[in-house]
Amino acid sequence: MALADHTCVPAPLETYLIPRALLYGRDHKGMPSWPVIVHRIGVLLADPGHPQWRDDRRGHQALEELRQITANGDLSATLLTDPSLLPQEVLDWLSDHLLHCAGPPYGPGWPAGR
């Protein structure tokens, strides 16, 4: 039975999420590894030939698509301070191209903590 299906308390998901948010929420909005992921995104954006792209063409293709959907700006700074300000197209692009390459534990080729 999923947590949301429990009937012993009202709103059972809240009894899990609220304490979790209070416990971890101070550490970068509940995602302690987010600054590491953003750093890795910066590394991947700077090097379309980086091995974590896992395909020789993928990095170049992804960067070309990014140029088409966004104006020049500091993507890393926005990701760290307020990712909700990014347009939906950019967030979709990040999901499609970068998070699987940059995010722990998905990127086992990255050195620990970087």
CA 37, CA 83: separation in Å to the nearest integer?
13
Q: What is the pLDDT of residue 5?
A: 62
* Residue 12: predicted pLDDT: 64
pLDDT computed for residue 29 by the predictor: 58
Calculate the alpha carbon distances from 100 to 28, 85, 106, 109 in Å.
20, 22, 6, 12
- pLDDT value of residue 4: 55
**Residue spans per domain, the chain:** 34-102
pLDDT values of the chain reduced to their tens digit, one per residue, 114 residues: 565 565 666 776 677 766 766 666 655 555 667 888 888 888 888 898 888 887 788 888 888 888 877 655 688 888 888 888 888 888 888 888 777 777 655 556 677 655
- Give the residue among 39, 68, 63 at the shortest CA–CA distance from 53: 63
Nearest to 97, CA basis, from 40, 26, 16: 40
